[in-house]
Structure 1
Amino acid sequence: MKQPEQPPVISLRGATATLGSRPVLRGVDLAVHRGEVVSLLGANGSGKSTAVRSVIGQVPLTGGSVDLFGTPLRRFRDWARVGYVPQRTTAASGVPATVYEVVSSGRLSRAKLRLPSKADRAAVHRAIELVGLADRAKDSVNALSGGQHQRVLIARALASEPDLLIMDEPMAGVDLVSQEILATTLREQVVAGTTVLLVLHELGALEPLIDRAVVLRDGCVTHDGPPPRSLGQHALPGHDHVHPHSDSEPVRTGLLT
C-alpha cells in the first residue's frame, strides 16, 4: 500500500509582510522538504531574513500562511524540532557564562522543567564537539573570537537535536577556519537527515551541500531551482554594488526574470 506523501517541513504560501509601512515580502511561496538543504539568496533588503523570521513567528505575516511539519504556525508547539541561528548576534551577554552553559540553554526546549538528564548532557557535549570547541567548554564566551561565538550559537541550536535547522547568514564575519568547521558540522547534520534552510550572501564553503537555491528580489521569488555555481554575491540577481567602504551609488547586475 502506497504511503501518504509527507507534507513539507516548511511551507510558505503567498506570504506577505511589512516592516513599518514598507512591504518586505510580496507573495512569497516556499516549500522545503524533508532532508533538503535550501539556500535563500539575494541582495541586502531583498527579504531573506524577514522570510526566515516569519517561518519561526518572529515577524507576523500580513497575508498568506506558514506551516511547519504540516501544522499551521499558530498551532505549532514542538519547537524542540527546530534549531535557529539568528543573524549577526553574539553568544556573550551581561551575565558571565561558559560555552557549556550557553550551549546547554539550547536543550531547554527538550528538558522543559525537569533537571538535565544524561541524554541532555551528552547532546550538549556532542554539539560542542561538532563545532570544534570541546577544549573551550569551560571558558567564558566573553573570551572567544567572533568566529568562535558563531560556532557556540550553532552548537546551541544543535543541542536540541533538531529535525529542522534554520541559519541566518551563518558565515557572515566568520574567519576561514571557522567557516571550514561550520561547513563540516553542517555536512554531518545533512548526512544525519536534518532539513536545513540557510540565508546566505554567497554559497562559499557550503556550496557542495546546497540542493536548491531560492533567490529573492524586492520581496519576490525570482528563482527557485539549482544553485548558481561559484558565482558569489556580486553575480546574484539584483545585487547592489554598495559596500561599507564606498559612498558610490549602487550599480545593478542582471536580473532573473
Structure 2
Amino acid sequence: MTDTAIPASTAPPAVRLTGGTAALGGRTVLRGVDLKVARGEVVALLGANGSGKSTVVRTLVGLVPLTGGHIELFGTPYAKFRDWSRVGYVPQRTTAAAGVPASVREVVASGRLTRRRMFRLGGDDRTAVDEALDAVGMLDRARDGIDALSGGQQQRVLIARALARRPDLLIMDEPMAGVDLASQEVLAETLHHQQEEGRSVLLVLHELGPLEPLIDRAVVLREGCVCHDGAPPPATGQHALPGHDHVHPHADDHHNARPGLLS
C-alpha cells in the first residue's frame, strides 16, 4: 500500500535531492544540486548540454551514484526505498527494440515485471498495459513488431512502458528529442492527463516547447549548479534561459555532441 491518499499539501515531496554531487569519468558533473518535486507537481529540468541534467535524473533512479548529498523518494531515504513500482522512468532517446525481436505489447508489458513476478502477468497487468498503450495512441499497434515503428512511435512505446507501472512519479529524460510533431502532441496530452491524475512529473528538456502550459516550475542547471528555481522562463529558446552563456564555441567538439551526451 502506498501513501498516495495523503493530501499533496502535507505529504513529503516525491523527490528531494539535497546537496547532490556526482562525477563521471573522474570529472565532477554535479556540484551541490538541490531539487524538490512536490506531489502532483510537474517540474522541468533545463540547461545546456553538459550542465548535468541527465546526470541528476540518473542519480534518482540509481544509474549514477552520488559522491555527496542525499536523496529521498516519497519521504524515504534512498538507501531504504524499495517500492520502485511507484517510479516510472523513460531514459534518454534510445531504440525500444534494442536488437531483440518483440511486439509493442511485450515491450510495454515489461514495465509490469518485478523480481517477484518475472514471467507471469495477471488480468490487472494486461489492463494496465492496454491503458498505457491507449494513453500514447499506440493500442492499435500493440501486435506490431517494435522494429517496424518510427523513432517517434518507439518513444511513445517507451513512455507507455513507464506508464504501465501506474507510477506516482514519472521521470522522463529528453522525451521530446528527435520526435515528430504528432508524437510531441501525444506526449503533451499524456502529461496533461498525468497532471490531472495528481502524479508528480520530472522532465529533462532543452526547451519547454508545447509542454510549457503544463510546467509548474523550472529548475535550470549551469555547469552542474542550480542557477534558477522558480517560474518557467519565457519559451523563447535556449538564449533566454537564466544563466545561459552567450559565448558559443561552435568549433569545439561539444557543438557536435548528441543532446545530453555530456550530461
Q: TM-score, normalised by structure 1?
A: 0.91
Q: Which residue of 1 aligns with 2:123?
A: 118
Q: Which residue of 2 aligns with 1:143?
A: 148
Q: Which residue of 2 aligns with 1:75?
A: 80
Shift of 1:241: 7.0
In structure 1, give the amino acid aligned to 2:117: K
| Counterpart pick for 1:20 among 11, 20, 25 | 25
Q: Which residue of 2 aligns with 1:247?
A: 251
Query: Does the C-alpha gap of structure 1 residues 102 and 5 become closer, same or farther in structure 2, counting only changes over 3 Å?
Result: same
Q: Which residue of 2 aligns with 1:191?
A: 196
Q: Which residue of 2 aligns with 1:203?
A: 208
Q: Which runs of 4 or more aligned residues in structure 1 lie more than 6 Å from their structure 2 counterparts after TM superposition?
A: 248-251
| Alignment partners' CA distance in 2, 1:231 and 1:173 | 19
| Alignment partners' CA distance in 1, 2:47 and 2:246 | 10
CA contact (8 A) 1:41 1:201 kept: yes
Shift of 1:88: 1.7
| Alignment partners' CA distance in 2, 1:110 and 1:126 | 23
Give the 3-state SS of the residue equivalent to 2:195 in structure 1.
helix
| Alignment partners' CA distance in 2, 1:77 and 1:240 | 43
Shift of 1:61: 0.5
Q: Which runs of 5+ in 2 are unaligned?
A: 1-6, 256-263
Deviation digits for residues 216-250 of structure 1, max 9, x if unmatched? 0000000000001222223223256769xx53799
Shift of 1:90: 1.3
Give the 3-state SS of the residue equivalent to 1:57 in structure 2.
coil
CA contact (8 A) 2:234 2:240 kept: no
Query: Does the C-alpha gap of structure 1 residues 138 and 186 become closer, same or farther in structure 2, counting only changes over 3 Å?
Result: same
Shift of 1:109: 3.4
CA contact (8 A) 1:234 1:241 kept: no
Q: Which residue of 1 aligns with 2:231?
A: 226
Residue 127 of structure 2 is aligned to residue 88 of structure 1: no
Deviation digits for residues 124-147 of structure 1, max 9, x if unmatched? 001001111111110000000000
Alignment coverage as a number of residue pairs: 247
Q: Which runs of 5+ in 1 are unaligned?
A: 252-257
Q: TM-score, normalised by structure 2?
A: 0.89
- Superposed CA RMSD: 2.1
| Alignment partners' CA distance in 1, 2:245 and 2:117 | 43
Shift of 1:112: 2.4
CA contact (8 A) 1:80 1:110 kept: no
In structure 1, give the amino acid aligned to 2:244: G
Query: Does the C-alpha gap of structure 1 residues 125 and 239 become closer, same or farther in structure 2, counting only changes over 3 Å?
Result: farther
Q: Which residue of 2 aligns with 1:52?
A: 57
| Counterpart pick for 1:129 among 120, 127, 134 | 134
In structure 1, give the amino acid aligned to 2:114: S
In structure 2, give the amino acid aligned to 1:247: A
Shift of 1:21: 1.4
Give the 3-state SS of the residue equivalent to 1:45 in structure 2.
coil
Give the 3-state SS of the residue equivalent to 1:115 in structure 2.
coil
Query: Does the C-alpha gap of structure 1 residues 238 and 141 become closer, same or farther in structure 2, counting only changes over 3 Å?
Result: same
Give the 3-state SS of the residue equivalent to 2:170 in structure 1.
strand
CA contact (8 A) 2:13 2:36 kept: yes
| Alignment partners' CA distance in 1, 2:80 and 2:170 | 20
